[in-house]
Homo-oligomer: A and B are copies of this chain.
């Protein structure tokens, strides 16, 4: 049985665990103020080209999202997101539990459209009773998005301009940011930093045991962030574990290397599926493959392979998601393709 369910089935890349072993009995400062966190911060600041960026290490994606959003918004403000966005759908109301409405717009292949976002702002500020409705004050995007697709440099630039016009934050959820940065995209980490107010380099889905590296450019968001981090239970006492992992990931490019591997595996799987005449639901840009498969197929292979049924397509077919990762062996892709072929 092999699983393409997600990119967090395996624990962590060996180099990270080795680094933890190696530094195991060192005494370090607590709460993210140790030398390893500082080292990792240095690598990230170099990568994005901003020595003044604030970098905080948190444990998971939902936690990072809710902490940053709680730190950013006043009580009457909400955040615009795709209706299928992680904060809108898959965080058990974490944002609402912090007091804020998620204002949803339609999603197109995993991305939101600038026109829709602008319309939300305009509808609000044109409302004669605007104080009776939630004030949009942040735009939340995922890059890659829910379907593994990517924003272009121009798309990000337009969103930035809209946010500037309406005095709103632009926040980018980078749970799989490595996969975005190593894809055939025209957006660099430095671009993302310059065009957003905050974003994070996901660790959990990119080979770390746990951890996300939140990067803040906006001065007002930087202020007092650590209070909110502590308040939300998002400041690990043993912060060194985060620093050690992120230092290892970013010292010499391991982060991008692992992400590139995941992308390569997904590209190979996509090619193989296409060669077998299986249509893709959206073009594969990063490490998630969405393919349209007959239900009959599912029953034949389901004892040997795991995937996610994303949605029904029609009476006899579904969209399935196959997720590759830093740990996916190339031979598993080939074996899977061979198994499909044998059962077609």
* CB of A312 closer than 8 Å to a CB of B: no
Distance to closest chain B CB from A302 (angstroms): 14
- The complex is assembled from copies of this chain, and their number is 4
* CB of A246 closer than 8 Å to a CB of B: no
Distance to closest chain B CB from A77 (angstroms): 8
Question: Which one of A56-64, A148-156, A258-266 contacts B?
Answer: A56-64
Find A237's partner among B21, B61, B99 (CB 8 Å cutoff): B61
Find A76's partner among B12, B24, B93 (CB 8 Å cutoff): B93
Contact A62 B96 (CB under 8 A): no
* CB of A74 closer than 8 Å to a CB of B: yes
Contact B97 A230 (CB under 8 A): no
Contact A226 B131 (CB under 8 A): yes
Find A233's partner among B3, B67, B131, B236 (CB 8 Å cutoff): B67
List the B side residues contacting A108 at CB < 8 Å: none
Instruction: Knowing A60-B237, A75-B97 are in contact, say whether A10-B30 is a contact too (CB < 8 A).
Output: no
* CB of A238 closer than 8 Å to a CB of B: yes
List the B side residues contacting A172 at CB < 8 Å: none
Find A230's partner among B11, B62, B240, B241 (CB 8 Å cutoff): B62
Contact B210 A133 (CB under 8 A): no
Contact A234 B20 (CB under 8 A): no
Instruction: Knowing A204-B238, A238-B204 are in contact, say whether A17-B20 is a contact too (CB < 8 A).
Output: yes
List the B side residues contacting A3 at CB < 8 Å: 27
A298-331 interface with B by 8 A CB criterion = 327
Question: Which one of A40-48, A84-92, A280-288 contacts B?
Answer: A84-92
Alpha-carbon distance between A94 and B11 when the two chains are bound, in angstroms:
30
Alpha-carbon distance between A133 and B94 when the two chains are bound, in angstroms:
9
Alpha-carbon distance between A220 and B25 when the two chains are bound, in angstroms:
41
Distance to closest chain B CB from A299 (angstroms): 18
Contact B11 A241 (CB under 8 A): yes
* CB of A297 closer than 8 Å to a CB of B: no
Considering the complex of A and B, which 3 residue pairs feature the smallest CB-CB distances, nearest first? A63-B233, A76-B227, A92-B231
